[in-house]
A and B are shown apart, each in its own frame.
Chain A
Amino acid sequence: MTLMTYREAVRRAIRKAMQADERVFLMGEDVGRYGGCYAVSQGLLEEFGPERIRDTPLSESAFTGAGIGAALGGIRPIVELMTCNFSLLSLDQIMNNAATIRHMSGGQFTVPVVIRMATGGGRQLAAQHSHSLEGWYAHIPGIRVLAPATVEDAAGMLGPALEDPDPVLIFENALLYNDTDDVEDLVEVDIDHGAIRREGADISLITYGGSLGKTLSAADALAAQGISAEVLDLRVLRPLDEAAILATVAKTRRCVIIDEGWRSGSLAAEIMARIIEGAFWTLDAPLSRVCSEEVPVPYARHLEEAALPSTDKIVIAALAVLGR
Chain B
Amino acid sequence: MSDPAIKVRLTRKHCRTLLHQMLRVRRFEEKCAELYTQEKIRGFLHLYIGEEAVATGVMQALGPEDAVVATYREHGHALLKGVSAEAIMAEMYGKQEGCSRGRGGSMHLFDAETRFYGGNAIVAGGLPIAVGLALADKLSGRKRVTACFFGEGAAAEGEFHESLNLAALWRLPVLFVCENNLYAMGTALDLSESETDIAAKAACYRMGAKTVDGMDVVAVEVAARRAVASLHETGAPQFLECRTYRFRAHSMYDPQLYRAKEEVEQWKERGPIRRFQEWALASGELHPEDVQEIEEEVAREVAEAVAFAEAGTFEPAEHLLQHVGAERRT
Q: Residues on A close to B: CB < 8 A?
A: 23, 25, 51-52, 54, 56-57, 59, 61-75, 77, 92-93, 96-97, 101-110, 141-144, 164-166, 192-193
Contact = CB atoms under 8 A, between A and B. Distances in A.
A108 B166 CA distance: 27
A221 to B, nearest CB: 34
A103 B103 contact: yes
Contacts of B103: 103-106
A57 B166 contact: yes
Which applies to chain B's interface (DSSP): helix, strand, loop or mixed?
A: mixed
B24 to A, nearest CB: 23
Contact of A104 (B108, B135, B139): B108
Interface in B55-76: 67, 69
Nearest to B165: A57
A64 B104 contact: no
Contacts, number: 160
Contact of B166 (A52, A59, A92, A102): A59
A101 B118 contact: yes
Contacts of B101: 106-107
A108 B165 contact: no
A63 B166 contact: yes
A105 B87 CA distance: 12
Contacts of B67: 73
A62 B100 contact: no
A70 B135 contact: yes
A161 to B, nearest CB: 13
Interface stretch (B5-13, B34-42, B254-262, B318-326): B318-326
B252 interface: no
Given A59-B166, A192-B328, A66 B139 contact: no
B122 interface: yes
Contacts of A71: 132, 136
B136 A73 contact: yes
A224 to B, nearest CB: 37
Given A73-B136, A109-B117, A92 B159 contact: yes
Given A69-B130, A106-B98, A109-B112, 7 more contacts: A61-B162, A62-B163, A66-B163, A68-B132, A69-B117, A73-B135, A96-B120
A75 B140 contact: yes
B133 A72 contact: yes
A108 B132 contact: no
Contacts of B132: 65-73, 77
A64 B128 contact: yes
Contacts of B136: 69-75
Nearest to B157: A61
A249 B48 CA distance: 57
29 contacts: A52-B139, A56-B166, A59-B163, A61-B162, A62-B166, A65-B125, A65-B128, A65-B129, A66-B129, A66-B135, A66-B163, A68-B129, A69-B130, A69-B136, A71-B136, A73-B132, A73-B134, A75-B139, A77-B132, A101-B110, A104-B103, A105-B103, A105-B118, A106-B103, A107-B323, A108-B110, A109-B112, A141-B324, A143-B325
